[in-house]
A and B are shown apart, each in its own frame.
Chain A
Amino acid sequence: MTEKTEVSICFGTLCFIMGGSAFELLSEHLDEELREKTLIRGMNCPGYCNQTSEYGKPPFVKVNNTLISEANLQKVITAVKKEVLHGADK
C-alpha cells in the first residue's frame, strides 16, 4: 500500500478566521478515491503567520511537504491531486 498524502491544515485562530474555516468541508470536497488516499489533520499555528514576507499570506495548508499560502479549497484540492498522481507513478 502506498503512503497517504498528508494534508495539514493550520488550526490557528488567524488562519481559521482569515478563510481557513472553509477546510472544515475539505473531505466533503474530495472525491472518494482521493479521500481514501489522503490523511487530513490539523496543526497548531506553526508561526508562518508571523513571517508573511517569507511565507506569504494566511491561511496556510501543507500538502505533504508543500506549503500553500492564501490557501483555498481549489488550491488544496489541486495540490492533493498532484501529490496523489505523483505518488502513483513512483
Chain B
Amino acid sequence: MAQTNNATLIRREIITRLCRLYAENRLDEIDRIPLEMAPRNTTAHNSRCCIHKARAIIRYRIMALLGFNVADETDELETLYSYALRSLAGTDRGKGVLTVVDEACTSCVKSNYTVSNLCRGCLASHCMVTCPKQAITMENGQAKIDPARCVGCGLCQDACPYHAIIYVPIPCEESCPVKAIYRNAQGIEEIDYEKCIHCGKCMVACPFGAIMYRSQLIHVLHQIAKPAKPVVAMLAPAVCGQFRADYTAVADAVKRLGFTDVFEVAEGAVLTARHEAGELAAHLESGREFLTTSCCPAWVEMAHKHLPKFLPDVSETWSPMRYSASMIREKYPDAMVVFIGPCVAKQAEALKYPGVDFVMTFEELGSLMIALNVDFQDSDASVPGEVIRERAFAISGGVAGAVAQYYQGEVLKPLVINGINKKNIALLRKLSATKHDYNLIEVMACEGGCLSGPAGISAPAVARKLFNARSGISVDQIAITGF
C-alpha cells in the first residue's frame, strides 16, 4: 500500500537525484546528495538528532538504491561512488529484497510495554508482583520496565489499576504477516530472509522510512544509456492506476525515457488466465480438491516458506510477467527485459526464473520521469487504446474472475483471499486442514490487489479511482465476494 508521506517523498527525491546525476553523466558527484539534501543551517533534519545523522541515513538509503543490502557494509568510509561502480560491475546480489537502514531504525520503543506518567507508584505494585520475568522495578516513585527482561506478555498492563501501562506497537513487526522482522540484540530491526516473503508491508508501515527495497534502477539506467541491446519495458496491469493518463500515454512516456519498446503485462495475463483455467480443470479431474492462483509472488513465497501443505495445489502456470517476457523475446530475442510494477516481491520472482533481467517500480518510473522532464502534457498519445480485460489482474478478485472466463469443468466455487494478514493466514491454515468446497482460491498479498502495491505511486483509494477512470474496466464490477 503506497502512501505519500514524508518518508516516501524523501525516497522519491533521492531516486530523482540519482537519475539526474546518471543522465547528466555526473555519477561521480553522488556523494554530494546527502550534503545537498541535508544542508547546514536548515531544518531538513527535523526529526533526526543532528545533521550528521540525517546525512548518514540518506547515505544508507542511496546504498539500498544502488542495490546493496545495508547490513553488508564493511567499510564505513567507502564512498557512494565506489558502491555505484561496484554495483554496475558486479552481479553478486546478496540476500533478500528488503533491507533495514539501521541508522534510521533506532527510534522505536525497546519494549512494547511502557509505563506512562499516570503511574502512581502505588504500594501494592501489582505490576511488579505480576511480572513473570522480574522486569519491573520502582524508581523515583514510578514503575520502570527493563526492556532487556521484558518478554512482552502484557500481564502488567492488565494488573495496573490505574491503566498506567500502555502498549506501544512497533509498526514494522506489527505489519509483518509472517514474523520475519524482529529486534536484534542491539535493538535494531533485522529481517530474517528465511521467513521474509518480500511483501513490502514493513516498508510501508515504518514511519521512519527505515526499510527499503534494494533497487535495480541503476542497472536499468545503465542499459538505457548504452544502446548495445534493445531495452524493453513491460508495464504491470496496475499501470492504469498510477498516473492521470491512459495506457497509451504512459507507454509513450516510457519510450521517451529511452526504452526501445513497451509491452503491456495484461497481454501476458491473458495467457496466464487461459492456461490456469486449463490447469484447474485438469487438477480437479485428477482428484485434487482445489487450485490456488500463482501470479502474486509474495503468496507463492508464502506457500513455500510457511504453508508447504498448499504447495501441491499452487498453480504452476506462469505468471503474467513470465508470459510477457517470452512474448517480448519472440520479437526481440536479445533484449534486456525490464518489468515495471508496484511490487517488491516481483524482484525475487524475477531472480528465480530466466527471462526478466531487471525489475523496476512505478515509484522509480515516476521519479525517472521527473529527472528526465518527461511530462504527459507533451504526449500526443491520447487515444485510450485497446482495453484488455485482464487488466483486472491488478485487482483483488480479478484473477479468479479472469480464470473463470476460460474455465470449463465442474461448477466453480472461487474464494478470494484479499490480502495476506494474520487473519487470512489463519483462514488459509484452516482451509488446508479441514474440508471445504472451494475449488479455486485466489490469493493476493496486498489488500485490494496490486493497485495497493507497496511501490506504487499513490494511495490505494487514489489508485482505484484512477484505474476506474483509465483502464476501461471497473474495479467494483470485478470484485467477487472475498474475505
Contacts and interface: CB of A to CB of B under 8 A. Distances in A.
A85 interface: no
B336 interface: no
Interface stretch (A19-27, A30-38, A61-69, A74-82): A19-27
Interface in B100-151: none
A60 interface: no
Contacts of B377: 11-12, 44-45
B465 A24 contact: yes
B459 A21 contact: yes
A35 B441 CA distance: 42
Contacts of B369: 13, 17
B259 interface: no
Interface residues of B, number: 22
Interface residues of A, number: 15
B21 interface: no
Among A14, A16, A22, A44, the most chain B Cβ lie within 10 Å of the Cβ of A16
B307 interface: no
Contacts of A17: 12, 363, 366-367, 369-370, 457
Given A11-B244, A17-B12, A17-B457, A22 B4 contact: yes
Contacts of B9: 18-19
A44 B367 CA distance: 18
B376 interface: yes
A16 B375 CA distance: 10
Contacts of B366: 13, 16-17
Interface in B435-483: 457-459, 461-462, 465-466
Contacts of B374: 13
Contacts of A19: 4, 9
A51 to B, nearest CB: 15
A71 to B, nearest CB: 11
A22 B375 contact: no
18 contacts: A11-B377, A12-B375, A12-B377, A13-B374, A13-B376, A14-B370, A17-B369, A17-B370, A17-B457, A18-B9, A18-B13, A18-B370, A19-B4, A21-B4, A22-B4, A24-B244, A42-B244, A44-B375
A77 B290 CA distance: 50
B466 A24 contact: yes
A45 B375 contact: yes
A22 B459 contact: yes
Nearest to B370: A14
A58 to B, nearest CB: 9
B368 to A, nearest CB: 10
B458 A22 contact: yes
Interface string A25-59: 10000000000000000101100000000000000
Nearest to B456: A21
A56 to B, nearest CB: 13
